[in-house]
Structure 1
């Protein structure tokens, strides 16, 4: 396995640039032009760091002073060279485009054309009416994005995905040009907002028009084989309403409305009425242990026994949108006991914190102090963990299913702390999380398909398996020390946590993809472009 590891995509000229050297005895290193072999920089390493998560002893080489655009490698005598990487101000443009276009290629209920989809094109899929579980009632829930390696569509996953993408647009709208090669390209609406709207239109169909509650998901009863989406023809089933789906639906729509107000006021009105009705429905929704798959359905459950953080986000986001004291009081009641954190589908408190702190209506100074103090403490914990890790990330030895999502989300939390504390150490740590996902990790792999010298070739993603070629621009889940699938057990038993990853399509716990893993990575890229 390679001894010298960097971000395989590359760096902007003024980025902090650090190479990892594992289990080496050398003390000096150089940076060479990968085309000519000419040495352009030489320095000494720092360390060592005993890295428990990867069972390695690591030293680090900082080459931030190399700023001239070009293609380079890091070299150490007796240990070879790193994979090549690029230094350029626009180094992340190609990967951003593929990460974004994944959403178009994941569209459900519409033809993905040969012109725009290439080998992943398909006719309209999942166009039949769906049956509400336990009834004979059928409804139209066409549209949206296929959630992951399968073809289900899930509200809680959709909500956090939309939120991350909207925040990416808010932080750096200039990078989301009007031509990402989707059907709506070159219209008056930026492509990112057009793509997100495709998901929002589907989410609106998932609301019960009578009660205002929101159905948890729509899938078939079981997962299909490794077929293209139009080949999954089993009955579509709409799962029951859940608190988490209803609350995140409220929050997501409330967040989205200001982004579309310039382009389509009628759409915004529809979203506002739907969000308001869903909020009212929450008064009558009480599900003790959260959503559980009904009998006979074995697709993704997205179970969450704690729904307080979803209500917290919904209240904060509705208050930010409307200034209505009803939502303010609801939020204050929820923050009295604890400050919630998290940018994942299961823990969404950080979205609520951001909404409240950025509201233009009166906010409670004591609540603000409580939230910011807690956010700073959370960020400091992540920073300390990052500084003690050889690869600069904040997971310690805890690599869960979807650990790459945790890496990306923790990077966003570190940026939150950077904006609160104005301390560049947090921003450097956030960038290290991005570098990890793009190649500076114990597996020495760019975890994004189709980008980097080494990247996943066999993701758990049905179109990729069906076409025998990985769709480019998908962030895979990454190491999972729980070994939650048979392939992982067979290949990874006894491996250190950060190396519990296998590039095999049967390893759904380490090598699947999802819409809500791409989204925080897009957000991180937006911050560093």
Structure 2
């Protein structure tokens, strides 16, 4: 008896000392809306795959439970050029550079997906949290020194001159940073937003980690706001044209303040938003939400505080959010959105699918806020209900998953037909297991230029997608249409969780 009780005590101690084990316990309760209709799509399968994709983008020392097994350790000396540990994080797309700006946005959107819909994710919640933590562990390293953020590892020009696996990298792992003398308000503010949003994800299951993230977010935001300047000025040769900031940094400051207001509940941030909202572009009519421009996301997020918590000073954000909805939904007098003949929202040629996934997420999220507060959107007499927003979002996701003129899924590994030649080095070259000897910098280009399918399946990767006429050539060299990216998948995770639940698949 004594032996068994001591075992029980040991188990209790182990559980109490392992907050990660509680990270998938007690999912949040959500109001939900079951669709009585049938769907031809397995949103649950797509959700599983959309999260698994992030494991294929990991840099650093891979864990024993790594599911995309053709990937191996890479970038194990990252940061050593500046005597700082920058091992880990994500490769943003199909190359081997770690860009801090899109990585932080990816983290914010993955976190928002879990904050809104994590309670519906069941067994995928833990996987989603691990995907977030892989990023936040890295962002904590990148912000370890006050008033300094390491915003990039790898020289993009030299990296792009090679077609090699991350495991073989021999291009310079140069480290680029922002500080008081070379400010980077947009990337610093987005990093603060990512840390703040993630602190909410871990608040119940790992309160200590959550506090570390929130404290760091506060410090990073102060730096972003105090030392203003665009990182694409000071670091132009290294970050442009890849992740050059075109929208200015005002949207990022508003977005970060919105997340800090939500994460810390400190009145400081509400005061900041009230005092600076208009100068930071709260009411601008820019309706493209992605890694560069955060205005629409900030409006939707801040409207939640007004709609659900009745924070009166934020009442204007409901009308700002409504203006975005009216610009998007066809048939309203204010609609400016463009669509392909097959019905896909079309913003631009380069990686258009990122705007499809971010829009779908914002619509199901705003629909949730409107439903909870029993509100609608009035577009010049045209009434838009939450149901209409959900239907629009579902149509966009369904197109992505195969309801399109090509009858092709744009998510690798989902459905009977999907892209086979994605613009992604690790996926296109033989794996380390299949080809243990090094593949030299330029010798990979013969494979890149070939018509052969990629030997490694990057499960869950969503590519840039079709052109404005629904055409998709499935060519590896066509990075605009065939390259996957973390910021395409991140908002899709939330939209898929909502759809899988509402069709009774979760």
TM over 0.5, shorter chain:
yes
Give the equivalent residue in structure 2 for 1:146. Answer: 91
Q: Is the 8 A contact 2:116 2:365 kept in 1?
A: no
The structure-2 alpha-carbon separation of the partners of 1:129 and 1:101, relative to structure 1 and needing over 3 Å to count, comes to closer
For normalisation by structure 1, the TM-score amounts to: 0.70
Matches within 5 A, 1:42-441: 67=38, 87=40, 91-111=42-62, 116-118=67-69, 120-122=70-72, 124-130=73-79, 137-174=82-119, 176-178=121-123, 190-207=126-143, 209-211=145-147, 213-221=148-156, 222-223=158-159, 225-241=162-178, 242-287=184-229, 290-291=232-233, 293-295=235-237, 300-337=242-279, 338-339=282-283, 342-359=288-305, 365=312, 367-368=314-315, 370-384=316-330, 390-395=341-346, 398-419=347-368, 420=370, 421=376, 422-441=385-404
**SS where residue 216 of structure 1 aligns?**
strand
Match 1:502 to one of 473, 476, 488: 473
- The CA distance in 2 between the partners of 1:192 and 1:226, in whole Å, is 30
- The CA distance in 2 between the partners of 1:323 and 1:309, in whole Å, is 20
Q: Is the 8 A contact 2:60 2:88 kept in 1?
A: yes
Specify which structure has the higher proportion of strand.
1
Q: Is the 8 A contact 2:422 2:463 kept in 1?
A: yes
- The CA distance in 1 between the partners of 2:241 and 2:85, in whole Å, is 20
- The CA distance in 2 between the partners of 1:286 and 1:303, in whole Å, is 14
Q: Are 2:382 and 1:445 equivalent residues in the alignment?
A: no
| Aligned-pair CA distance for 1:507 | 0.9
- The superposition leaves residues 330-354 of structure 1 with CA deviations (integer Å, 9 ceiling, x where unpaired) of 2123322533655410111233234
Structure 2: which 5+ residue stretches go unaligned?
Answer: 1-33, 179-183, 371-375, 377-384, 431-453, 501-506
- The CA distance in 1 between the partners of 2:263 and 2:117, in whole Å, is 21
| Aligned-pair CA distance for 1:197 | 0.7
| Aligned-pair CA distance for 1:457 | 0.4
**SS where residue 361 of structure 2 aligns?**
helix
- The CA distance in 2 between the partners of 1:465 and 1:261, in whole Å, is 39
Q: Is the 8 A contact 2:110 2:494 kept in 1?
A: yes
**SS where residue 243 of structure 2 aligns?**
coil
Q: Is the 8 A contact 1:251 1:314 kept in 2?
A: yes
The structure-2 alpha-carbon separation of the partners of 1:320 and 1:342, relative to structure 1 and needing over 3 Å to count, comes to farther
| Aligned-pair CA distance for 1:299 | 8.0
Structure 1: which 5+ residue stretches go unaligned?
Answer: 1-13, 17-63, 68-85, 181-188, 481-496
The structure-2 alpha-carbon separation of the partners of 1:261 and 1:413, relative to structure 1 and needing over 3 Å to count, comes to closer
| Aligned-pair CA distance for 1:267 | 1.5
Specify which structure has the higher proportion of helix.
2
| Aligned-pair CA distance for 1:301 | 3.2
User: Higher RCO, 1 or 2 (CA under 8 Å, sep at least 6)?
Assistant: 2
| Aligned-pair CA distance for 1:525 | 0.8
- The CA distance in 2 between the partners of 1:280 and 1:114, in whole Å, is 37
- The CA distance in 1 between the partners of 2:391 and 2:422, in whole Å, is 30
- The superposition leaves residues 291-339 of structure 1 with CA deviations (integer Å, 9 ceiling, x where unpaired) of 4645477783343351101000111111222233322222123322533
For normalisation by structure 2, the TM-score amounts to: 0.73
- The CA distance in 2 between the partners of 1:260 and 1:363, in whole Å, is 25
Q: Is the 8 A contact 2:52 2:67 kept in 1?
A: no
| Aligned-pair CA distance for 1:503 | 0.8
**SS where residue 459 of structure 2 aligns?**
coil
The alignment's C-alpha RMSD in Å is: 3.0
- The superposition leaves residues 196-219 of structure 1 with CA deviations (integer Å, 9 ceiling, x where unpaired) of 1111000111115132x4232222
